[in-house]
Every structure is written in C-alpha cells, then in structure tokens.
Structure 1
Amino acid sequence: MDNDILPATLEELLTAILTAGQKLLGLFTTPGWRQYQMLIVVVLVAISMVLSIITRRYWEDWARAREGWPKWRLRTLVLLMRRLSLLYFVVLSWAVYLVMQESTWPSRSYIIGVVATLATALLVIALVARAVRNGTLRIIFRWSMWIYATVVALNLTDTVASFLDGIAIEIGALHISVLGILKATLLIGALFVLARLASQGASNALKRNDDISPSMQVLLGKAVQVLLYGWVFIVAIRTLGFDLTGLAFLSGAIGVGIGFGLQKVVSNLISGVIILMDRSIKPGDVISLGETFGWINSLGARYVSVVTRDGREYLIPNEDLITGQVVNWSHSDQFVRLDLTFGTSYSDDPHVVRAVAIGAAKSVKRVLSGPGHDPVCHITGFGDSSVDYVLRVWISDPTAGLTNIRGNVFLALWDAFNAEGISIPFPQREVRLLGDQPETGTDSQHIRAE
C-alpha cells in the first residue's frame, strides 16, 4: 500500500463527502427552485400512493388471469405488485424530470433526477436480489448496490474510485487494490448468477426434449454446468490480475497432491459419468442395493439419490453402483415377477389347490393377467407337515411397493382357501409325561434317556 497517497486520497474523499453533505443540506434550507423540487418529490410520492390504492384491485385481477405464465415471470409480477407505489413513483419522477429538462434550466430538476435515480436503483436492486438464493449474500448484494447507486447519484464515482484504487498491494507486476477486488467481486457474483440461471434453463430445456434419454439429459446438464462455472472461475482469476501461464506448473503440482487426497471423490465423479453414459441406471428406475430398495430420484455428480417406500432418501456413492451388485428391477422393462411360497395339507387335492391359488392371485388388482404374465402355481416338494407350493405372479409397477402386493396376494389365498375348505398345516409335537414307574420297552428307555 502506498502510504504517501492514502492520506491525501482519504482527505479528498472526506472533503468530497462533506461537500456533498453540505450541498444536500443546502437543498433543504435555501429558498428557490431547490425547495420547489423537494415539494415536487413529496407531491409525486403522494400521487404514487394514491394511484397504488386506486389501481391495485385492477392489477391484482389482471395478475390472476396470467396463470399460463412461467414461474419466474409470475414471481417478478408478484414482486412488482408488492412495490406498486415505488413503480408509480419511478415512472412519474422520470417523466417530470425529462419534461423539466426540456422546458427549464437543468439545475431546476437536479434533485428530482437524483431521487429518480435512487428510486430506480431501489426497484432494480429489489428485483435482481431475488436471484441470489443465499440470505447473507442477498443482504451484502443489496447494501453494495445501494452504496454504489448512491455514489453514482451524487457524482462521487471518480473520487471514491481513486481512493479505493490507492489502497493496494503490489507484488512485482501484480497490482491488487480494493477497487479491483470490489469490481471482481461484483463481476463474479453477477456471472455466477447468470451461470446458475443459464444452467437451470439448459437443464429444463433438456428435460422437455423427449428425444434424449433421461440419463443423457442429466449428463448434458452437468456438462453445461461444469463449463459455465469453469468459465466463471477463469474469468475471476483473470479479473484479479493473476497470470494463468505462471500458475501452470504450480497448478500441476497442486493437482497431483489433490489427486492423492481426493481419490474417492474423483472415483465417484468418473463413476457418475460412466453411469450416465451407459444408461444402466436412470431416474425412475427401481433398484435394490444390499438392504436398500427404492427408486432413483436423481443422479448427481458424486452420488445417486434413492428414495425408499418409507420416505427415506439414501445418497449412495456412484462408485458403489459401479463396483457392487445392483438389482435394477426396471432396467429393460417394468415387469417384475414375485415368488410366494405356501403349503397345504396332504389331504387336499393338489390340482384343486393350484387352481384356487391361481384364481385368488388373479383377483388382486396389481397382478397381471395375459400371455406371458399369467400367474402360475407349482409343487416344489413334499415337506414334513405339508405339500409345498410356489405361486408366481407378475406386476408392472414396482415403484408402488413389493411388500404390500405380497400381503394382498397372501390375504387373497387365505380367503380362497377358507372358502374351499383347504387347510394350511403347521408343525405339531406330542409331549409325553413320564410317571414314577418307568415303562418297559425300548421306546420308553429312549424317551427317558432324552
């Protein structure tokens, strides 16, 4: 920092601020056109409030009729409706200012021009600040823009710019000043907002294109996002005055170090790209990974969001989907076969049991019937207490759940077996109590030994 320049520049800045303050104070105390201008501003404020009260109902009815507009346009309309008085004041103040500029001396409309500029800045800042989602950043943006608009309205830009440029750090040919940092911050913030809006617009446009598969839509959307944010990062570095060619060797060394420390992150990123390119998993697919069963909600650069039937959302790293065994219930189609096992008594006719089981399965709503998807029932073995069967049914909506459809089919079997007199056996054991006198015989000795 240049210590010789700072005091003089600071003194000039303070002098300019005091002069502007005295001039502003004089606007209120000196009789003449300055007081007339203040009176005109007060009258314009009153007229704007009256117009807002009179026309608000009309504008609200007009806004309700705009149901087909996009969401961003409706949000902008809501913001304008909340600031209807300010909007009227901006229009009226600029109209009066332009008329007075043409009909009388420019000095007689100076205050009106300053007030109109500040009112316009307030309206524009309120609209633009809504694009900043972070609350803290939104407050910083509003105050920064307000200060800048005030400086511009009072014609202090050159004085403030020279003062801020004097507060600087010089490293060789590199000159970093407060003014440069502020300019870079504002530029980067604006570019980040534009990049976010552009990436969202591109993603929405890709989602509306039915010719592109869901996985490719996500891949192209991520590619656009990476390109836009990468461009903003490069612009930020260049705006601050750094020479990218001099950082090439250093960035390579740093990249090697980061590569060792971020192996898992890089692996997940590459795995995400592979998943998007081979389209093995796409949004809406029903998958099972270990004990996790659910459908793909979204594909991220690092993880896949899986939502289960109980409302839990699991964030599964992309690497696990590449290296692990994943069951994709809807990879090529939505048809899923379920196997349900049961047993009946040996006294029941197996032919009747099979026919009753198939009829019960067909009575359940979600069970499919038709060529290739009809329910079937087969004997799988003769158990100790029952004849064992397997009932195979098909469904086409695994996202609606598997446990509930199994329960509905078992309930239908229960009702059908009760109606037909078919019994479902269960294991039974006979317990024999031994008396004081042991019985003769091999069996009695064997029981006593047990």
Structure 2
Amino acid sequence: MSAHDPGPQGPGRQGAVAVERVFRAEYGRLIASLVRRFGDIDVAEEAASEALVVALEKWPETGVPPNPGGWLTTTAANRAIDRIRRESKRDAKHQAALMTYDGTAHEPTGPVEDDRLRLIFTCCHPALAPEARIALTLRLLGGLTVAEVAQAFLVPETTMAQRITRAKKKIAAANVPYRVPEAADLPERLGTVLAVLFLVFNEGYLASGDGDPVRTELTREAIRLTRVLRGLLPDEPEVTGLLAMMLLIEARREARVRNGQLVPLHEQDRAGWDPALVAKGHALVRECLAINRPGRYQLLAAVNAVHTDAPTAADTDWSQVVALYDQLVRLDPSPIVALNRAVAVAELDGPSVALALVDRLPLQSYHPWHVVRADLLRRLGRSTEARDAYGAALAGTQNSAERAYLSRKRGELV
C-alpha cells in the first residue's frame, strides 16, 4: 500500500477520491485540448492517464491546485512531448506539436470554436458507423468509462471495448483528419452530435456507476455545449428542443435525491424546482412549436414541459403526455420509447394495461424495464412478482440513490 493511500477510510484515500473526481470533471476538456494539439487519440489518452498518475501522487500531499484543469493540461502535454521525443520516428503532425510547445500558436477554429464541441463533430465523422461515432465520443468527450458507455448501448462491456478500439483503428487506417469541421459538414453530423450530448446528459442525470448518484459536471457540460451548438445553429429546432429538455430536467435536480434516496417525479417537492430554468425551458418549447417541425428532442422537451407545468403530480395532463409519446413512437419506434409511453399509459388507463404493453418489449437486459415492471406489479398487488422484479432492477444498477429507493420499495411489499 502506498504512502498516500493508507486505507479505504484514510486521508490518502479521501485525497485520491478528490483527484479522481476532478479528473472525471476535466477529462473531456483535457482530451479535446490534447487531440487538437497532437492529432492522435492514443497519444491524448495515454498522456491524460499519465497526468492522472502524477496527480494521484502529488495532490493528496500538496492539495488540489487552484486551476486543476490547467495543471492537468500542462502535465499531460509535457508527458506527450516527452513521449514524442523518445520516438525514433516522428511524423509531421508530431513535429508540428513540438513546434507549438510554448502554447502560443493557434490554429484556425472554423465555425466551431469550442474545443470539446469541435472534437465531438470531428469524432462524428461519416467514415464511422453511427454507433461507433457515439461510443467513441462518449468515451473521449463525456469522460464515461467503457462500462458506462456499454450500459448506454445495452451491450456487454467487452463488446463496447472492442467497438471503441475498432473505431480508433479505423480513424487511423482511413487517415481521418482531426481538422476543424467546415460549415457544410455540420448538418450531416448533427444527428450524431445531438445523440452524444443527450447521452452525456443522461449519464449525469442518473449515473450508472457507484460514485455520485447525480453527476452535475456532466449535466452542466452537456447543457453548456448544447447552448454553444444552438448559437452555432439557431434555426435548427432539434437543437433548441434538446436544450429545452435538458433545462426542464435540470430544473428538478435539487429535488431528485433526498436523504441518499432517489425521489421519483410524482414524489418530488416541486417548490425545490428551479423556476428560472423551468421558465427558460418552456420558452424554448414555445419556440419549437412556432417552427412546427417536430422531432425527437422537441417531443421529449414537450413531455417535460407538461410535467413541469403541473402544480402537483395529480394535475399532470397524462392524456397530453400519451399523445406526445404517440407522435414520438411514429418518429422513433424503439422499445425504449415504447417503455416510456407505457409509463404514461399506466397513469391514464391503469397499471394492468401498461403491464401488458411492457411485457411485450424485448428489454430484459435494460434495467429500467425491470424498474417499471416492479412498480406496475406492486400497484396491481402482485407482491411476489414485484419483489422479484425489484431484485432484477437492483441487480442492474450501481447508483447508490436508486438502489436505496428500490430497496425501500421492495421492503414495503407485504
């Protein structure tokens, strides 16, 4: 055991946890900066990992520096430079990186000036399959672990690791340039970029790992990047819809966890919602309605607008929610959309109707499916089946707040 890590409960371990938290928050920005400079994903990832090792050695003793992101970027860049200098053969892009070692050189930014958003557009290159684009970008920019990305795609971790590795190899083999996307490239890549931002936000909204149950650094960064994207493409209603959806969900953040337990929407204290974010989200939804070109994210935003417009859970207009999901199913006939629609149907037509819909969905590996089934079975008084469903739901999540909620609900069964 190292000197700075005396044990799970010791101050060294607490310092290491603080370092890891900062690193996760800064990871996407760090990778974006390194890829822009060195033009190589592997160099960027290895340099970032080496910077983390140095931080784990130093910060528990010296404390987190005032500008941890800047410290990590400088350290990682130095490690990358050292690696390049050790190589016997250096290509032109590495030579160029060495020439800009003082950090004073600036390349053209094109229409996308934000480093992280630029790398998202770059990773969403049409040479890669859509799922590979999203997976790679979530790993690099969202700072999600391979396991977290795998959960977003409902595939085993080993499958996702192979998919990400293949994507990086294809980028290298096809010589896909890490260049600034041209304005003409943006519309073609927009759908994938929106999907990435949506999934990053989702991971922050309800983290799949066993750390913080809500990762605010991810939700805030997804919102920030979507705002930047909206400034870039102000006439794209799906960008506006995604931002509206994020703001309306983020408005409820402070009410979502209480005493270490997840609080479902119908139990939340609505006085704890952020009224400014609710108002802004509603205003953006109205903008989308005026444009009248409905899309997936606009409809999801409208669903959240209905929820946040109701003064109490009992006042929710479930018929409108179901109607919105009916539109969404026509645009996106996926089983996950159908599952969310069934939740609304349960409020309108009862849990037995909803359960019949849920049981037909091929989502046995998707833990929210078990959560929904458990709740419907509980409401129908089928306690034994509900207990089993809660057990399956618990087995599918590491989120501490969600586990506490599911355990409580299972314990209440008679």
What interval of TM-score do these two structures reach, taking the shorter chain for normalisation? Answer: under 0.3
Q: Which has the higher helix share?
A: 2
Q: TM-score, normalised by structure 2?
A: 0.25
Larger relative CO (CA 8 A, sep 6+): 1 or 2?
2
Larger radius of gyration: 1
Q: TM-score, normalised by structure 1?
A: 0.24
Q: Which has the higher strand share?
A: 1
